[in-house]
A and B are shown apart, each in its own frame.
Chain A
């Protein structure tokens, strides 16, 4: 066995061991009621989540929450990238945009939810909050990413008589791709959090609504099932985005 393969195998093994220990601890804490009755064992939660009788309930909640998160993700990413690019291209706008975006980000999204409920409707509030969280991440990723290109590269482009647009398209944008991919990865949990928080303010369905109503009615396994589904989705998407980001970084980073 080659040393590289052995190192890889060891990493996978340790990773699996860590996850196993975590899940085992989750089960043990629940079985022996180490922190009281509101921590069900993992097996109970899984049995609840995968019960065929509740398949429709969870499927509808997932469809609602994930589509809100996805919609907010796409809108937020587009707006964040557009605002970031505008700030880089039109320098006069940059300080104002920086301050505006930072100020909005400094307000907890929970506090903004009532505003969105008034402006939009109860069911799209989650999408709006998700878009705001993602938009901030992408604004920061875009403005810092477009500044990544080295001074030496800029000198070469200037000496070859590149127009500002050619420089953006052939130098600054490709050089920004790793930062943009990193921003898109980091924004994934934010989109899910935004969608779920939005549902706490009176949405008609969704995983966030399930969490709130389970909490109010002391339906512990239901609460944990909704949390489990959300976490699993976030982790899987985050993992996929990490793989994509790694490929992009390999190609576009010197």
Chain B
């Protein structure tokens, strides 16, 4: 399947990638088969699929947290771990993974320390403002709500102005109302920075609202079923979610995710 490149060349490229895991009893399980995907410079791609389809594995391959069994993954033309070693990757997961012993601003400043650079306090303060956590600089993660922790986690991902942002179900554990509000905020934040982004989610509306392109994966073993160019212009406000076109696309992709014969 040909994969259309983004407007300014490919930032991320997966070339016929496969991933197999070996279970404890020695059995081999194919998690991903023949995945080819390109994400252009400054493009926002959402990856959706039923749970267990390997969409998080795709993200972990790009983050160099896993190695592919077959095929090639490259980020900016190089091996993916070069990006993380150069401190040019930002990640936020469903588990916020904030350090409980650091304050919110300490957590957001952590990537500076891990890169061996002095913490840019102005940058940390402006990011906390951007994600709506101004005034909570000295709070500890356990004093925050689930939504606020995810905001802090996203601010941390953005700290070093990364070239690539990887988001793995960052709002997956939140209630529907908070999730919708954070989607609107992420839309606003992303529009200001336009970082190459891959969002893994199981929420179809979230994917269509945020992404330039939605890639739909099938269940185990994971394959790419379909790619949809999202037709809505940017900047997108929440009113997009109320248009009939938006609802039609959500219905269309939701149907694709349903197991065969269930409809």
- Docked-complex contact A156 and B101, CB < 8 angstroms: no
> Which residue from chain B places its CB closest to the CB of A153 in the assembled complex?
B97
Asked if B131 is at the interface (CB within 8 A of a chain A CB), the reply is: no
In the complex, what residues of A have CB within 8 A of residue B90's CB? 159
A152-B115 CB under 8 A given contacts A160-B84, A161-B84? no
Asked if A145 is at the interface (CB within 8 A of a chain B CB), the reply is: no
- Docked-complex contact B115 and A160, CB < 8 angstroms: yes
Asked if B110 is at the interface (CB within 8 A of a chain A CB), the reply is: yes
Q: How many of B's residues come within 8 Å of A, CB to CB?
A: 27
Interface centre among A159, A162, A251 (most CB of B within 10 A): A159
Selected from B101, B141, B142, B166, the residue in CB contact (under 8 A) with A159 is B166
How near does chain A come to B83, taking the closest CB pair, in angstroms?
A: 8
A166-B114 CB under 8 A given contacts A150-B97, A156-B93? yes
In the complex, what residues of B have CB within 8 A of residue A171's CB? 99
In the complex, what residues of A have CB within 8 A of residue B100's CB? 251-254
Q: In the assembly, what is the distance between CA of A254 and CA of B101, in Å? A: 8
- Docked-complex contact B101 and A251, CB < 8 angstroms: yes
Asked if B86 is at the interface (CB within 8 A of a chain A CB), the reply is: yes
User: Quick one: CB contact mask for B76-104 with A, threshold 8 Å, 1 for yes?
Assistant: 00000000111101110101010111000
Q: In the assembly, what is the distance between CA of A161 and CA of B85, in Å? A: 4
- Docked-complex contact A158 and B64, CB < 8 angstroms: yes
Asked if A135 is at the interface (CB within 8 A of a chain B CB), the reply is: no
Q: How many of A's residues come within 8 Å of B, CB to CB?
A: 19
- Docked-complex contact B63 and A159, CB < 8 angstroms: yes
A153-B99 CB under 8 A given contacts A158-B84, A170-B110? yes
Q: In the assembly, what is the distance between CA of A254 and CA of B89, in Å? A: 25
Interface centre among A155, A161, A174 (most CB of B within 10 A): A161
> Which residue from chain A places its CB closest to the CB of B142 in the assembled complex?
A254
- Docked-complex contact B95 and A161, CB < 8 angstroms: no
Q: In the assembly, what is the distance between CA of A251 and CA of B140, in Å? A: 9
Asked if B113 is at the interface (CB within 8 A of a chain A CB), the reply is: yes
- Docked-complex contact B97 and A170, CB < 8 angstroms: no
Asked if A157 is at the interface (CB within 8 A of a chain B CB), the reply is: yes
A174-B89 CB under 8 A given contacts A160-B84, A160-B111, A160-B114? no
> Which residue from chain B places its CB closest to the CB of A251 in the assembled complex?
B101
- Docked-complex contact A156 and B89, CB < 8 angstroms: no
User: Quick one: CB contact mask for B216-235 with A, threshold 8 Å, 1 for yes?
Assistant: 00000000000000000000
In the complex, what residues of B have CB within 8 A of residue A153's CB? 97, 99
CB contacts under 8 Å to B, within A196-254, are: 251-254
How near does chain B come to A180, taking the closest CB pair, in angstroms?
A: 14
Selected from A152, A161, A251, A253, the residue in CB contact (under 8 A) with B97 is A152
CB contacts under 8 Å to A, within B102-131, are: 110-111, 113-116
Q: In the assembly, what is the distance between CA of A254 and CA of B140, in Å? A: 10
- Docked-complex contact A174 and B101, CB < 8 angstroms: yes
A155-B84 CB under 8 A given contacts A160-B114, A160-B115, A170-B113? no
A160-B87 CB under 8 A given contacts A155-B65, A166-B114? yes
- Docked-complex contact B101 and A252, CB < 8 angstroms: yes
- Docked-complex contact B84 and A159, CB < 8 angstroms: yes
- Docked-complex contact B142 and A152, CB < 8 angstroms: no
Which B residues fall within an 8 A CB radius of A? 60, 63-65, 84-87, 89-91, 93, 95, 97, 99-101, 110-111, 113-116, 141-142, 160, 166
Beyond the given A155-B97, A161-B86, could you list 4 further A-B residue pairs with CB under 8 A, ordered by the A residue number? A158-B64, A158-B65, A161-B85, A161-B114
Q: List 29 A-B contacts (CB under 8 A).
A: A150-B97, A152-B93, A152-B95, A152-B97, A153-B99, A155-B60, A155-B97, A156-B93, A158-B84, A159-B63, A159-B84, A159-B89, A159-B90, A159-B91, A160-B89, A160-B110, A160-B115, A160-B160, A161-B85, A161-B87, A161-B114, A161-B115, A162-B114, A166-B114, A170-B114, A251-B100, A251-B101, A253-B100, A254-B100
Which A residues fall within an 8 A CB radius of B? 150, 152-153, 155-162, 166, 170-171, 174, 251-254
